[in-house]
Amino acid sequence: MDMDRVTRYGAEFIGTGFLVFIGVGSAVAGLLSGGVVVVALAFGFVLLALAYAIGPVSGCHVNPAVTLGALIANRIDIEDAISYWIAQFAGGIAGAFVLFGLARWGGVRDQTGDLGANGYGRNISLGGTVTIEILMTFVLVLVVLIVTARTENAGFAGLAMGITLGALHLFAVPLDGTSVNPARSFGPAIFAGGTALSQLWVFLVFPLIGGVLAALAVPYVTGDGWRFRSAVEAQPMGAAESGAAAEIPASEAAADRTQREQAASDAPVDDVTPTERRDPGPPV
C-alpha cells in the first residue's frame, strides 16, 4: 500500500475519532449543564475544523454515509471506500473508548446515561427515527456532495458542512441524539451496551439509505450535465440577459466574441455608429 493511501486512511481514522470524542463528548460532559445548543455547536465546529484540516488529504468524509454517497457519485473507487469505512468505524471506536475511559476511570459524570449513544422510544418512535435519520442524512450528504464539487467559492465548503451538521443536531438531539453517521453511532453503542446496542442497527442502516438517496438526487438538484461557472462567467449580467435561460456556455461565448471582433476589423473606417454621427466628439 502506497503512503498516499495510508495518509488518507489515517486522516479518516483520526478525523472520525475526533468527531466522536469532541461531538459526543460534549453531550456526555455537558448535555444537561450546557444544553442542546452546546452539543450542536460542538459537532458543527469540529466538522468545520476537520474539513479545513484533513479535507485536502482525504476529503474529510469522517462518515460512512458520505463515503457511500461519494462512491455512488463516482468520486471514490470501491477499494478506497471499503478502506475509508474501516478507518471510520475504527476511529469511532477509538473516540468512544476515550470517552468510556473518562466516564469509567476519569471521574467524568456521563450526563446522557449511555455514553451519548443514539436511541429511540423516549421522545420518538422507531418509525419517526427511521424518517428523520433518512431525511437528515440526505440533507447532509447532499450538501457535502454539492459544495465540495464547486470550483468557485471552494473555500467555504467546510463552513457549509459544519453549519449543516450543527443545524441537524439542533433539531434532532432531543429526539434520538442525532446520528446521520453510522461510525458516530457505532462506537458509543458498543461501550454503552444494552438498549443502545440493540437499537444500533437503525442508526447503521437508515443513514446509509439517506446517503444513497442524496447521491442519486444530486443530478436532479443541480441539473443534467451540470457544471459550475468560472469566476469570469459568473460576472453579473445586464437586466435583459438575466434569468435561468441566459447562461451561455464558454465555448459559444468565445465564438461570439471572435465573430464580433472579426466584423469590427472588416468594417470600413468611415462606417460609424448612429451615436457617433449624432456626437462626433471634439475635433482633433
Residue 140 lies in a domain: yes
In a domain, residue 238? The reply is no
Q: How far apart are CA 119 and CA 202, in angstroms?
A: 9
pLDDT value, residue 175: 97
Domain annotation covers residue 135: yes
Per-residue pLDDT, 272:
42
Q: Determine how many CB atoms are found less than 10 A away from the CB of residue 32.
A: 10
Q: Does 59 fall in a domain?
A: yes
On whether residue 134 sits in a domain, the answer given is: yes
Residue 33 belongs to domain with CATH number: 1.20.1080.10
Q: Distance (Å, rounded) from C-alpha 262 to C-alpha 273?
A: 17
Q: Which residues of 4-19 are buried (b: 16+ CB within 10 A; e: fewer)?
A: eeeebbbbbbbbbbbb
Q: Cβ(171)–Cβ(40) under 8 Å?
A: no
In a domain, 252, yes or no: no
pLDDT for residue 230: 35
- Kindly state whether residue 243 falls inside one of the protein's structural domains: no
Res 223: pLDDT? 78
Residue 120's domain comprises 3-222
In a domain, 8, yes or no: yes
Q: From first to last of the 284 residues of the chain, give the pLDDT tens digit.
A: 688 999 999 999 999 999 999 999 999 999 999 999 999 999 999 999 999 999 999 999 999 999 999 999 999 999 999 999 999 999 999 999 999 999 999 999 999 999 999 999 999 999 999 999 999 999 999 999 999 987 766 789 999 999 999 999 999 999 999 999 999 999 999 999 999 999 999 999 999 999 999 999 999 988 755 444 333 333 333 333 333 333 334 444 455 555 555 555 554 444 443 333 334 333 33
Q: How many domains does the chain have?
A: 1
| Per-residue cell: 173 | 438531539
